[in-house]
Structure 1
Amino acid sequence: MRAFICGLKGFTLEADERAFLRDAAPWGVILFRRNVDAPEQIARLTADIRDALGRHAPVLVDQEGGRVQRLGPPHWRAYPAAARFELAAANAGQAERLAWLGARLIAHDLRQVGIDVDCLPVLDAPAEDSHSIIGDRAYSRDPARVAAIGRAAAEGLMAGGVAPVMKHIPGHGRARADSHLELPVVNARREDLELIDFAPFKASADLPMAMSAHVVYTAIDPTAPGTLSKAVIGDIVRGYIGFDGLLMTDDLSMKALSGSFRQRAENAIGAGCDIVLHCNGDLAEGRPVAEGAPPLEGAALARAEKALECVRRPIEPFDVAEATREFDAAMQAVA
């Protein structure tokens, strides 16, 4: 088993992908909209992935709601964007309740089709002049509210047997560029980063998994994005924030990064990431990523095993119909 996660091309597992999974042995697989058709199809695909790998490997997805929702109508509900919880709520406690309910319902959807890791919550606190790539994916501009509502969402996922991945550590909220397309550079002082950007992650440092940010923080390391920076990962993510869970990269195929795909993987692992993520399903890129990813062992393996504890324990009782009624009644008020 190697320290990477890969994507697939389509609705079914093709022969070359099956061989790749068998030979490269990624820790897990991530699904996107291109992989999603209907519930029965996803259930077959997740079963085929695990059959090819010869183990019950984690299957991940980005199911946030709003703009980032891989499973959607007509087979699944359209979940609201994160920012809508505070708009729908009469008070702070209700906003957290709605985030918990939404995530718990998402967990129910995902487990029904064999998906057990969700790249949620987004704990970025967007600045007024930041790029819209985060925008309403954030729970609030107030870092304390981001922390509280995001934590509730993470708890909802875990109650439903789905492991959360908080993103994008240590914070994408000030970025004035979309890291899918270019490298964002944040020039804020460390004191300001600690007060706002890092704070929601520090409040949930005990969560099982996090995804890195492809963002340069000049006050920490002006030479490399966080994903590839020993200073950002060692001094901030593991040090100041205190996160000791499984740290995966954001997608290595994003244009914020440069160099060969093998170099990207090796540099991310060398900087302190536990697992590298490659999403687009292009095996011409995926093979060198796999070559650059080491065997998953030692502290990284221990973190990976611990990260899946909530997936393996019995799922808490949950009345789906009643939760749906409560959630819909509140959210329809701001539809």
Structure 2
Amino acid sequence: MRAFICGLKGFTLEADERAFLRDAAPWGVILFRRNVDAPEQIARLTAEIRDALGRHAPVLVDQEGGRVQRLGSPHWRAYPAAARFELAAANAAQAERLAWLGARLIAHDLRSVGVDVDCLPVLDAPAEDSHSIIGDRAYSRDPARVAAIGRAAAEGLMAGGVAPVMKHIPGHGRARADSHLELPVVNARREDLELTDFAPFKANADLPMAMSAHVVYTAIDPTAPGTLSKAVIGDIVRGYIGFDGLL
């Protein structure tokens, strides 16, 4: 069996979940809003997870800011959406500094309750006619700006002891549907994908982890979404982009 990540039902670790963790030995556990109540509760839950697994297993969360923030009010700061970093900055260096600082603060919040992996940065570059599922979760529409600001956010997390997960490789920016609800199909040419969608990931290929995009790219593989496609994962993610970390 390959390494996998699983979720949990609620605020506490139930007996059946403890048994599952012990027997199945997942690589890590991801928390969602349904698992989050208060700082003390999450700290207990992360400790229970690691006790059940018998090791200091990674605990992940999606803590981007804006619409995607599993740890929220009233116990945690309300972080801005990614797009705000570019809009609020007078220059590129300032935008990157703001992203670094925001991610460093997020890392502090997460580490204080035992979470050590954050599914951030979002390295998608949204197209004009794309679905709003990415929208202001992206740092910019400019792939170069996405790459630079995303790099700063990743480094802010790592400075605080939290591992980043870049997403959604090799790019969700052209999708005209929410991949949580239906399967997006992108018909762009490979040359265009390389210039826009793939570029931020290629610039950050040395980051330790990535989350795949559940999107069909007809120029690469018209038969399967990226998550399940040998062509997308092998030829694009591992090959062209050059990412060899945990996917």
How many angstroms does 1:73 deviate by?
1.0
Whole-angstrom distance in 1 between the partners of 2:176 and 2:87 = 25
Whole-angstrom distance in 1 between the partners of 2:122 and 2:161 = 19
- Ranked by relative contact order (alpha carbons within 8 Å, sequence separation 6 or more), the top structure is 1
Offset from partner CA, 1:231-280 (integer Å, 9 cap, x none):
10111001100001111xxxxxxxxxxxxxxxxxxxxxxxxxxxxxxxxx
How many angstroms does 1:129 deviate by?
0.3
Whole-angstrom distance in 2 between the partners of 1:4 and 1:239 = 23
**Residues 2 and 27, structure 1, Cα contact 8 Å, conserved in 2:** no
Secondary structure of residue in 1 paired with 2:155: helix
Secondary structure of residue in 1 paired with 2:109: helix
Whole-angstrom distance in 1 between the partners of 2:19 and 2:240 = 42
Unaligned runs of 5+ in 2: none
Whole-angstrom distance in 2 between the partners of 1:234 and 1:17 = 34
Whole-angstrom distance in 1 between the partners of 2:4 and 2:208 = 17
**Residues 102 and 156, structure 1, Cα contact 8 Å, conserved in 2:** yes
**Residues 59 and 114, structure 1, Cα contact 8 Å, conserved in 2:** yes
Whole-angstrom distance in 1 between the partners of 2:151 and 2:70 = 22
Whole-angstrom distance in 2 between the partners of 1:150 and 1:97 = 11
Q: 1:2 to 1:230 in 2, by over 3 A?
A: closer
**Residues 166 and 211, structure 1, Cα contact 8 Å, conserved in 2:** yes
**Residues 2 and 26, structure 1, Cα contact 8 Å, conserved in 2:** no
How many angstroms does 1:90 deviate by?
1.0
Whole-angstrom distance in 2 between the partners of 1:242 and 1:39 = 38
Offset from partner CA, 1:104-152 (integer Å, 9 cap, x none):
0000000000000000000000000000000000000000000000000
Whole-angstrom distance in 2 between the partners of 1:2 and 1:139 = 33
How many angstroms does 1:37 deviate by?
0.6
Whole-angstrom distance in 1 between the partners of 2:41 and 2:221 = 45
Whole-angstrom distance in 1 between the partners of 2:68 and 2:236 = 27
How many angstroms does 1:50 deviate by?
0.2
Considering fraction of residues, name the structure with more helix. 1
Offset from partner CA, 1:171-204 (integer Å, 9 cap, x none):
0000001000010000000000000000000000
Whole-angstrom distance in 1 between the partners of 2:15 and 2:178 = 34
Offset from partner CA, 1:273-309 (integer Å, 9 cap, x none):
xxxxxxxxxxxxxxxxxxxxxxxxxxxxxxxxxxxxx
Match of 1:128 in 2: 128
Whole-angstrom distance in 1 between the partners of 2:45 and 2:26 = 16
Match of 1:313 in 2: none
Secondary structure of residue in 2 paired with 1:188: coil
Structure 1 stretches of 4+ with a deviation exceeding 2 A read none
How many angstroms does 1:10 deviate by?
0.5
Whole-angstrom distance in 2 between the partners of 1:78 and 1:27 = 30
**Residues 157 and 163, structure 1, Cα contact 8 Å, conserved in 2:** yes
How many angstroms does 1:85 deviate by?
0.4
**Residues 2 and 24, structure 1, Cα contact 8 Å, conserved in 2:** no
Whole-angstrom distance in 1 between the partners of 2:91 and 2:148 = 13
Secondary structure of residue in 2 paired with 1:30: strand
Q: 1:63 to 1:86 in 2, by over 3 A?
A: same
How many angstroms does 1:2 deviate by?
5.0
Secondary structure of residue in 2 paired with 1:11: coil
Count how many residue pairs are aligned between Structure 1 and Structure 2: 247
How many angstroms does 1:87 deviate by?
1.2
**Residues 31 and 59, structure 1, Cα contact 8 Å, conserved in 2:** yes
**Residues 2 and 25, structure 1, Cα contact 8 Å, conserved in 2:** no
Whole-angstrom distance in 1 between the partners of 2:199 and 2:232 = 15
Whole-angstrom distance in 1 between the partners of 2:246 and 2:2 = 14
Secondary structure of residue in 2 paired with 1:29: strand
Higher CA-based Rg: 1
Give TM-score, length-normalised by structure 1: 0.73
Whole-angstrom distance in 2 between the partners of 1:87 and 1:126 = 15
Whole-angstrom distance in 1 between the partners of 2:17 and 2:48 = 11
Secondary structure of residue in 2 paired with 1:246: coil
Match of 2:35 in 1: 35
Give TM-score, length-normalised by structure 2: 0.99
Match of 1:6 in 2: 6
**Residues 100 and 153, structure 1, Cα contact 8 Å, conserved in 2:** yes
